[in-house]
Structures are given as structure tokens and as C-alpha cells.
A = this chain, B = another copy of it.
């Protein structure tokens, strides 16, 4: 049986940094060449980073990518490199009246030349994806490429998942192997889904599949890597590790040559050589689900901080679990000596909260400062009460201490961040962002909010997990459920109920009737959904964070701020105890993976 030596370069790339990415690509091409690799597959948009968003509207950016591609081509030797980038194409109209003239492409580099270009056909335009916005679709799903005596198909990410799309057209046309660059973001259960679907594509078509994915964080997205090589029966030959750079090569058994029924473009015509089989590296073991989430949060936070030039971070340490986990994350990725936790006790802060904040800082080894709000509160009391009292229709009595303290805490954190160039980390979680509670506690202020897509229920699980946080957060902070629950206020249900409602409403688009049918109390549901909708304004000005769920607030779920929709009950099905629904709660179920 003939074997093709394929390599995967699971590279971290920086959006926009074409020169830096090109350097890394060149180095990987040299490595592949040195190992006598036949085909090196790199991730989607490895040259420009993903997503490029409206960068492609800048002509100079597209030109820069094209020039770098030409330079990389001159470097290519006998290894064929599948290099994904953006390419200028003839203007094309599709779903609207705008001509688009940039494609997401895979350029085949061999022996000093760019020998051909595949243009991505299917352009994801949902969830976190916006490709339909700026990208021209490719029009040749069945394109085939001759690599010596092997016929190959190339498709890009979304192209793979149609069920009857480019890979099927290519295999039906005679492809013996499918080469697939990808930019597939992480969310819970995503890897399992990808492997299942990849396996079906390979098996359905009877051809091996080489799947190269990006790794690294980009604003609210984190790419997990987890690249893979599958044989023609859909069996996993190689799985790259998650959340780290990787490169590996595998000798893949090729199916016999097929009847070729479509035009084939020649990359080169030098037949495969006989050579000893390469040792196949071991598959990386899948990670425990919570460890995986923690790694996603870490990588996303690290890359955001580093790539935006922050070596240090500052955050508010409240003594609660959200702040403790945010601090732990920052300590892990920046080093504890580069993290400053600031406790800002106000008039209403119990002494033990300050002690807990201190203990968290000591336990993690991060810097710790106490900025008492007394002087600030007194200063604002005086100034605000007098000034506002002079104005008709404003009431100095309304200036409650609680929200005012929150605003002053935000000012303090931002002032420290301004002064030292520290990244201000917001400690808000998904549950509190969903109902607007984060704003009231200054938890949503900063440049990055690592935990913004983690529900409170998930955070408790992370904090208690052996391999994530064990022994690193003081027990008292860990077991503070009651006080945290109290902070939610008497009118809200438990975190478990709340997270179940948030997940089903936000993630699955369920409504009042569905949730009531699920056993939840109608009044509670209507109240919570109303809070979620009304909190959109506060969410819109909150910083980005790492997406770990199948639907995060933000670019993944785009809702109007001004929104007159009030989900309501149409018929009453009887009262239900809000904390004891008729069915099992599922605040933590991840959706069936999509792609």
C-alpha cells in the first residue's frame, strides 16, 4: 500500500501580523522539508490570522498577504505546502448587491512556486463567524490537485461539514486524500464533535483526512488545536494536543488510485518514492472536561494580554470565588509576581471579606494592596450631595452607597491600570452578566473578562476540581455559596435554576413555554428573561472574554439593546416551587457540538 507523508503545523498565529506569521510558517516549511514530508497542511488563514474581520477592506493588508505568499512560495522545496491566506479574486456578487473580491484561500506551494489556489466555498455566517460579510465564495468545490502520482482534494473548514459538499465532490472526482486547513474555535465538547464528523467524512468518502487547526486566543475566541489525521476508514491515526503549538508528520496509507472524472491541476508530477515508514507519534490523550475549560481560559487570557502588550494585570479582589479564580488564572498565565489584587473595602464590606481577599492573594503569591474606599466615599458624599441637591429633580438621598462604591472601585482599578499599563481584568461571570448584576458590583469593568462565558455553576465546579484549583483557593472562599447566593437578592432563584434558564434561553433559544414545560416556575422565568434582555446595554460595554460555551454573549449572540420584546406566558400551568422544578436542572449541559 502506498503511503503519503503528511505533516500538520498546528501553529499559533497573530491576527494582522503577516510578517511574524510568515516567519513561523517558513520555519515550519523548512522542518517539513527536512523530514521528507510530501504534504504540509497548515491551518486556515495561517498567514493573516483568523478572523480577519474588516481588515480585508484595507487594500494594503491584502497586498501585504499576497506579497508574503509569493515570498513563501520561493522557499518551497519538494514538500507541497497547503498555505491558507486571503487572495484577491475577480469581484463577485452573491447574497446581496455588494461585489466582494477577497477569498479565503489555500495556496499550494511547491518547488519555488505557488502552483494553484483553492478558494473556500462555504462561508460560515452565524455564531462567532462573519465570513459572509467580506469574503467572496469560491466557485470550484470539486477542484483536484496532482501531487506526483497522488490526486488530492483541498477544502477549508466549513467546506468539510456540509455532508454533500467539496470533500464529496473531490472524492467522487478522484481525490485519494483530503487536505483541510481549519480555524475551528473551542467550546465545550467541540473536539468530540469534530472528531466524530471528521471520521464520518473520511469513512463516507473512503479517503484519509488531514485536519490542521489553529491554536491560540484571539479576543473572544480561543482555538484549541486538536488537529487530526484520519485514515480512509475514519480511524484516528494522530491527534495533536490541545491548546499548545504542535507539529507532527504521519505516513498515511492511501487508497488505490480512483478513476479521475474531473479536471486535475498539476502541482508537480514527481512520483512518490519508496522509503522506510515513519514512526507515527502517539495521539494526545483527551483532557478532562474541566481541565480543558481551564486550559482554554488560560490560553485565551494569556494571548489577549501578551498580544496587546500587557505583561502585568490588576484586578479587584473581593474575597469571592469569581475574583479568586480570575486571580488564579492571571497568576498562571502571567506569573503571580505580575498580578496585583486590589481589595477595596467599602462601608458595607464585612471584615472577613477583606481577610479572604488577603488569603487568596497570599495563597496565589500575587501582589496585594488595600485601597479603603472611606476617603473616596466621604469625598464623593460631600461633593455629590451638595451639588446634586442644588438641582431640581435630583435627589441626593438616591445616591446609595452600594452602587457608588462600585463605580469608585472601577475608577480605582482603571486608574491603576492607566498608571502602570496593567491589563485590568474584569471578574464578571456569565450568570451575573446575564441578569445585569455584574455592573452593580463593578465586576464588568476592565480590558478583558476571562470568565464572562462561565456560569456560576461552572465556576464552582472549576474551583473544586482536583487538577484545576485544588488547594490553591482558601476553603472559606470556596464554601461561600450562601453569601454569594444572598448577594443575588431575595427575588432571584438559586444559581442552579438561574443557570438552567440562562442556558436554555440563550443557548437553545427556548422561551417561556419551553421553560415552563421543563418544570420551571412561569413567574420566575418571565422575570429572569426580562432581566436578561434589559441587561443588554450593560453587556454591550463590557470587555470581551474567552468563549467556552456553544453560545456566549457578545459577537456570538447579537441582540438589540433597544428591545421591546417581553417574553411572556400565554397560558398558566400552575405554580411551581422555583427551587424545585419538576424535572432535573441542567445548568451545565453543553449543547450537542456543531462544528
- Listed in ascending order, the chain A residues whose CB lies under 8 Å from chain B are 14-18, 20, 49, 51-55, 57-61, 64, 93-98, 122-126, 129-134, 137, 158, 161-163, 165, 217-219, 303-304, 307-308, 312, 337-338, 340, 342, 367-380, 382-384, 387-388, 390-395, 398-400, 403-404, 407-408, 410-412, 414-416, 418-420, 447, 509-514, 537, 540-544, 557-567, 595
**A543 vs B419: C-alpha distance when bound (angstroms):** 24
Which residue of chain B is the closest to A387 with respect to CB atoms? B369
Say whether B419 contacts A399, CB under 8 Å.
yes
**A26 vs B563: C-alpha distance when bound (angstroms):** 21
Which residue of chain B is the closest to A303 with respect to CB atoms? B562
Expressed in whole angstroms, the minimum distance between the Cβ of A565 and any Cβ of chain B is 3
**Which residue from B14, B59, B379 sits with its C-beta under 8 Å from A376?**
B379
Expressed in whole angstroms, the minimum distance between the Cβ of A335 and any Cβ of chain B is 11
**Which residue from B60, B131, B399, B537 sits with its C-beta under 8 Å from A511?**
B60
**A595 vs B97: C-alpha distance when bound (angstroms):** 10
Given A308-B537, A369-B391, 4 additional A-B pairs, CB 8 A = A373-B383, A395-B420, A407-B414, A407-B415
Contacts A/B (CB < 8 Å), 17 sampled = A16-B563, A53-B559, A58-B567, A94-B95, A95-B122, A95-B132, A96-B122, A96-B124, A126-B133, A308-B537, A308-B561, A368-B391, A374-B383, A375-B379, A376-B383, A388-B419, A395-B419
Say whether B375 contacts A400, CB under 8 Å.
no
Q: Do A564 and B15 contact each other (CB < 8 Å), given the known contacts A383-B372, A383-B376?
A: yes
Say whether A55 contacts B560, CB under 8 Å.
yes
**A455 vs B385: C-alpha distance when bound (angstroms):** 36
Q: Please list the 10 inter-chain residue pairs (A to B) with the smallest Cβ-Cβ separation, ordered nearest first.
A: A17-B564, A16-B565, A60-B511, A375-B379, A369-B387, A398-B419, A379-B379, A16-B564, A407-B411, A132-B132
**Which residue from B380, B394, B420 sits with its C-beta under 8 Å from A394?**
B420
Expressed in whole angstroms, the minimum distance between the Cβ of A404 and any Cβ of chain B is 4
Q: Do A542 and B544 contact each other (CB < 8 Å), given the known contacts A342-B387, A559-B54?
A: no
**Which residue from B371, B382, B384 sits with its C-beta under 8 Å from A415?**
B384
**A58 vs B537: C-alpha distance when bound (angstroms):** 19
Q: Which residues of B contact A420 (CB under 8 A)?
A: 393-395, 398
